[in-house]
Structures are given as structure tokens and as C-alpha cells.
């Protein structure tokens, strides 16, 4: 059971990151749909001036407020000093940058606080949609201040992810999956599972801690599940911050999704 001081720290941190994510979202929103400057990072991944502006704001505000916390952000250099910190901010200033650049409104600012390898509070701020997802460990998940729960699966099922994994899931379960419109933000796809807008989503290999940390807690607190391909829970703030195939799903289908992800194909 969490002690009172830890619970208070989590509440204080949630209030801090809620406000910071809201302001960072408004900063990013000023660039949305206005042809921001874009550069290509190593691995042909785009980054825009909006990413940099939101990241700078979050870094300035959060590190000043919690100077003893570690820091891991997609747009900041990782010097590994975070590994010696009790608590760590994990940040993606814009999750879904490709969609952001192309005008897709399903992008979000992702902010999480990690304690002992697990998210203790998390926020997804989606300003173009006027949606704010938040969660605190043991305290449930909210959308715009209202509780959310992963709903019973739909018929036919709505599961997204790479086509080969969807084909394996169909073969594993005998279900015919309804193809869903592509959502460029992995964090937002996971939030859709938390609300029941999706039943599940697979993530291809090479997602990073910053892509999923806040969404992980929102999923968990909604009653859904996120795991590694082998079914194990995800740990954060390790030296290695990339992950293999990930499986996020409503409780009724999560195990079937794991089995499908491990299904041997000819």
C-alpha cells in the first residue's frame, strides 16, 4: 500500500504536469496547420519547430519545479543521469509529429512521472481535439475530468496495428477485424483503448519510453492492459528505452492479442 507522503507527492506531481502539458499544448497548437519548419532526425524521423518549442517550455517549467527529478525527453539529449534519480519526468512534446505536420488533429503532448520504474502519474494533452487524459496510480483515469473505463469489446472488433499482426490476430481468434483509420500518435491510440473507442492496438518494435509512459498508466487505470509481446509489464527509466512489439487491449482480448503476437507463421 502506498504511504500518505507518496500519495501526496503523486497528487502534487499530477497537478504540476497537468498545467505544464496544457500550456505546452497551447504552444504547439499555435504552429498546427501553419506549415511549421521541419527537420529530419537520424532514422528519417521528422521533428518540427513546434516540438522544440513545447519541449523547451516543459523543460524550463518542470525542471525548475522539481530540480531533483530526472529527465528523459524525445527532443533532449539523454545523459543517463536520470538513472540515479528517485523520480523521473518522461516527455514527448508532440506524440504523432508526422500527423501534426500533415494536419491530422490526433496528436498529443505526453508527460509522465516515473517512480521506481513505473508511471505514478501521466497526462496526454490533445489541444486540437480539446481532450485531456490524466491518471494517477491507484486513482483511476480521466478524460476532461470525467472517469473513463475500457468498455466491453465491440462486434466486430476494432483492433489496430501493423497489417501482419492484425492478420495473425484474425488467424488466432477467427475474428474479422474492422480496419480503422490510421492514427499517427501511438499514445492517442492507447488512449482510445482506455475509453473503448478501440478494443486494442499493437505497436511495432522500436517504440520508446516517451511514446508510451503516460498512456500506459491511463490504460492501466481504465482497466485495460499494456504489455510486452511476452505478456510482461513494461518497466521504465532503464538504460535501454526502446521496446519490442507491444500489446494494448481491453481485458477480454489482451491475452488473445499476446498469443497472436507470438503466433508462428509459415
Q: What proportion of the chain, given as a percentage, has pLDDT over 90?
A: 91
pLDDT at 1: 57
Under DSSP, is residue 109 helix (H, G, I), strand (E, B) or coil?
strand
pLDDT at 2: 66
Quote the pLDDT of residue 59: 98
Per-residue pLDDT tens for 77-134?
999 999 999 999 999 999 999 999 999 999 999 999 999 999 999 999 999 999 999 9
Q: What percent of the chain has pLDDT over 70?
A: 98
For residue 219, what is the enclosing H or E element? helix 209-222
Q: Is it the case that residue 4 has pLDDT exceeding 90?
A: no
Please say if the pLDDT value at position 138 is more than 70: yes
In the predicted model, is pLDDT for residue 43 greater than 80? no
For residue 232, give every residue at least 6 positions away whose Cβ sits within 8 Å of its Cβ, in sequence order, or none: none
Q: 9 Cβ partners below 8 Å, 6+ apart?
A: 87, 120
pLDDT for res 265: 61
pTM for the full model?
A: 0.96
Question: pLDDT averaged over the chain?
Answer: 95
DSSP three-state, residue 117: coil
Q: Would the pLDDT of 266 be above 60?
A: no
Q: What is the pLDDT of residue 44?
A: 78
- Sign of dihedral through CA atoms 92, 96, 101, 105? negative
> Is there a contact between 124 and 24 (Cβ–Cβ < 8 Å)?
no
Complete domains list, the chain, with CATH? 4-147 (3.30.540.10), 159-261 (3.40.190.80)
Return the pLDDT at 151: 84
Model confidence over 228-250: pLDDT tens digits? 999 999 999 999 999 999 999 99
Least-confidence region, from 37-46, 56-65, 93-102, 210-219: 37-46
- Average of per-residue pLDDT across 138-154: 94
Amino acid at each position: 500500500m502506498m504511504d500518505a507522503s507518496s500519495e501526496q507527492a503523486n497528487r502534487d506531481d499530477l497537478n504540476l504536469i497537468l498545467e505544464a502539458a496544457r500550456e505546452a499544448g497551447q504552444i504547439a497548437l499555435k504552429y498546427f496547420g501553419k506549415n511549421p519548419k521541419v527537420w529530419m532526425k537520424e532514422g528519417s524521423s521528422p521533428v518540427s519547430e513546434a516540438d522544440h518549442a513545447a519541449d523547451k517550455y516543459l523543460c524550463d517549467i518542470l525542471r525548475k519545479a522539481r530540480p531533483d527529478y530526472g529527465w528523459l525527453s524525445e527532443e533532449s539529449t539523454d545523459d543517463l543521469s536520470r538513472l540515479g534519480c528517485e523520480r523521473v519526468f518522461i516527455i514527448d512534446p508532440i506524440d504523432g509529429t508526422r500527423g501534426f505536420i500533415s494536419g491530422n488533429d490526433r496528436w498529443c503532448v505526453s508527460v509522465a512521472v516515473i517512480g521506481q520504474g513505473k508511471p505514478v502519474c501521466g497526462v496526454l494533452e490533445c489541444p486540437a481535439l480539446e481532450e485531456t487524459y490524466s491518471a494517477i496510480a491507484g486513482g483511476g483515469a480521466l478524460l476532461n475530468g470525467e472517469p473513463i473505463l475500457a468498455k466491453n469489446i465491440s462486434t466486430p472488433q476494432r483492433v489496430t496495428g501493423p497489417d501482419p499482426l492484425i492478420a495473425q490476430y484474425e488467424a488466432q481468434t477467427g475474428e474479422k477485424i474492422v480496419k480503422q483509420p490510421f492514427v499517427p500518435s501511438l499514445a492517442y491510440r492507447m488512449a482510445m483503448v482506455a475509453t473503448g473507442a478501440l478494443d486494442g492496438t499493437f505497436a511495432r518494435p522500436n517504440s520508446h519510453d516517451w511514446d508510451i509512459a503516460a498512456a500506459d498508466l491511463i490504460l492501466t487505470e481504465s482497466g485495460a492492459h499494456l504489455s510486452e509481446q511476452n505478456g510482461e509489464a513494461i518497466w521504465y527509466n532503464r538504460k535501454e528505452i526502446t521496446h519490442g512489439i507491444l500489446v494494448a487491449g481491453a481485458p477480454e482480448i489482451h491475452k488473445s492479442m499476446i498469443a497472436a503476437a507470438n503466433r508462428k507463421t509459415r
